[in-house]
A and B are shown apart, each in its own frame.
Chain A
Amino acid sequence: MDKNTDMPIYAVDEKSGAQGGPVNQGSPEPETTAAAKPTRTLWSDAWGRLRKNKLAMIGAIWIIFIVIVALTCDLWAPQWLGSPTQIDSSQMSELSKLPPSAEHPFGTDALGRDVLCRVIYGSRISLSVGILATAISTVIGLVMGALAAYYGGIWDTIIMRLADIFLAFPYTLFVIVLIAVLGQSITNVFIAIGLLGWPSIARVFRSAILSVKENDYVDAARAMGASDARIVIRHIFPNSVASIVVYATMNIGGAILTESALSYLGMGVTPPTPSWGIMIEDGQTYLATQPWLMLFPGLAIITTVLAFTLLGDGLRDALDVKMKDA
């Protein structure tokens, strides 16, 4: 082959997909040039894949529904179902433990309050615990994971051993002890769950960074003169954050469960504030005779946690660059 191919220098590139070189040295096969395809970002690609995942979309729709209900229930729930906390002592005996009916779709509890109304208001506690506690764990976890992975050495050892110690404690017991120390309030539930959730997030983020750090584009960025901070923020973070989005989404479900367990044990929110955990605790006495007292808050927990898990699963598939189908 003559060195001076007189073709314009881009010509072969355009064709290489079809012709290939005479010897393809096991190099990655040339992707077809994408001039015809509309420009898409990774996030819009991911959204396209997520939309095709039915289960994830069901989860997402359920979460959006719960969020809307939790945000707006003050506007319509009391007029329809009465107060979630007030007890009308004059009518308590008539209203107590009514089975589900048109007037009280989920029935009423022992003190005559509407169960649907309490489930609706309980979503506020569950969602806020889920989201805020996860936010706290995620922020701590991201910083810890980033420090451990990027600086390595002694930082890595200290942080990861600390994480191991945290993970070695029985989780629920640790949360209870922490709340006992901090004092029992809903804020402290956020803090306790949030503080104890960071080790697993730090681990996930650390391993994501470690694998991203090995990529040539990180070396290329350093060779361009980028500083450490810039490399972490601009190059490593965006490429490892997908795993955290997935993990955090699932973690919300976990935090909701923990809050329910705490409330059930009497360490969560204080009555009469409705929470799904407290409602189950209240209803367990009547499991044999009035099962709806436990059934509906239980269903609320299951569906919501499941929705977060399904969405998290869907996000994992959608954000996986290797599954790029188009």
Chain B
Amino acid sequence: MDLKNQPVPEGSHLLEVDDLKMYFHTQDGVVKAVDGVSYNLDRGETLGVVGESGSGKSVTAMTIMGLIDMPPGKIEGGDVRYRGLSLFEMTEKQMQDIRGNDIAMVFQDPMTSLNPVYTIGRQLGEGLRLHRGYSKEQATKRAIELLDMVGIPNPEQRVKDYPHQFSGGMRQRVMIAMALACDPDILIADEPTTALDVTIQAQIIELMQEMQEKNGNAIIMITHDLGVVADVADKIMVMYAGRPVEFGTADEIFYNPVHPYTWGLVRSIPEALVDEKKPLTPIKGNPPSLVNVPKGCSFSPRCPYATDRCRNERPDTYTTETGHYSRCHYSMDPEFVAKNAPTNSRRRAEENGAADAVAGKGGEA
């Protein structure tokens, strides 16, 4: 069964995550690692998932891939549909066919994500041999093409090398080539640039975009750095304590954020403005324990604008007509937003299209 060649059924999206809840049952209690995440994704789109460590970004991705050990993990609700088919109803064998072939993943640390005992070529070819039944020779030939595609010089030679003979940036290129080997519909990149030098980060992001233009795959880019997704994401989901707190197009999140947590993230992006030196504004405090999420809004203990209502009453999802939603009691109050939203995000809105600097990386608006 090759799902990729089947059309997406009418009325569904390529990937639909619907109120997904993944809890871990541990000795200390129930960890609500993912608590009601929903989004849709179509081919060619890029979704940025942003949040601090432990906000449930990676667990969401691992749940979609079916890579969470159960127990201790347990899906407490919701569904993930790929081309209209529920991934949770698939057998392990069917999931094995989907992994790597339809949905592939790039991991955070390229230094440890390659098996040290096999050549680069053999590892690149593994997916092709698993999913496409390639022979060893065919796989090696394709591996050389893939290495060339991701910009590794001298691929005929390098295909025989071992991972320890590659630098971190090159290994991440290899990881991307590996993930793209079977031409997957969806590429999940879990903090693909976090372990890399800043100079390499931009290249890796660019490479992924380039590959996306060629193959038309969707990308889910998981990161803790709003700056990383600034240029590449079509939609951005900001997660906090296992829940999405704000979701919108990249423009909406950057130029018109309405959730105080997003404001905090925007304020903590370093800006490369030359003549203006101003300190970064950190978000004070730490994320809550996922065993004991605060009663009201989970961000209320750290939110400078929190009221008694925030502390006691869990906010609903407030959605605008464009689909931009936020989980904050006051996000629909224009006065509150206008007064407290970071000036840099509003200034960006005003200078929209000008050569502003998002995350010190510059970029087209």
Contacts and interface: CB of A to CB of B under 8 A. Distances in A.
A160 to B, nearest CB: 19
A324 B162 CA distance: 13
Contacts of A220: 105, 107, 113-114, 175, 178
Interface string B112-137: 11111110000000110011000000
B161 A16 contact: no
Contacts of A14: 153
B167 A42 contact: no
A28 B111 contact: yes
Interface in A4-45: 5, 8-10, 12-14, 16-17, 19-25, 27-28, 30-35, 37, 39-42
Contacts of B272: 1
Contacts of A39: 160-162, 165
A42 B162 contact: yes
B305 to A, nearest CB: 32
Contacts of A41: 162
Nearest to A19: B199
Interface in B136-188: 151-154, 157-158, 160-162, 164-170, 173, 175, 178
A9 to B, nearest CB: 4
B203 to A, nearest CB: 5
Interface in A195-244: 215-217, 219-227, 230, 234-235, 238-239
A1 to B, nearest CB: 7
A2 interface: yes
Interface stretch (B35-43, B91-99, B250-258, B289-297): B91-99
B217 interface: no
Most buried by B among A33, A224, A324: A224
Interface residues of A, number: 51
Interface residues of B, number: 62
B29 interface: no
B218 interface: no
Given A16-B167, A221-B126, A225-B100, A239 B197 contact: no
Interface in B74-99: 95-99
B168 A217 contact: no
Contacts of A239: 115-117
Contacts of A17: 167
Interface stretch (B332-340, B343-351, B356-364): B356-364
Contact of A1 (B67, B100, B202): B202
Nearest to A23: B198
Contact of B115 (A25, A32, A217): A217
Closest 9 CB pairs of A and B: A21-B197, A34-B165, A225-B100, A224-B100, A225-B99, A30-B167, A223-B105, A216-B113, A216-B112
14 contacts: A1-B272, A3-B202, A9-B151, A9-B207, A20-B197, A21-B198, A27-B195, A30-B197, A40-B162, A216-B108, A219-B67, A219-B113, A220-B113, A220-B178
Interface of B: 65, 67, 95-101, 104-105, 107-109, 111-118, 126-127, 130-131, 151-154, 157-158, 160-162, 164-170, 173, 175, 178, 194-200, 202-203, 206-207, 231, 272, 360-363
Given A25-B194, A217-B114, 9 more contacts: A3-B363, A10-B151, A23-B198, A34-B161, A41-B162, A224-B99, A224-B126, A224-B178, A230-B130
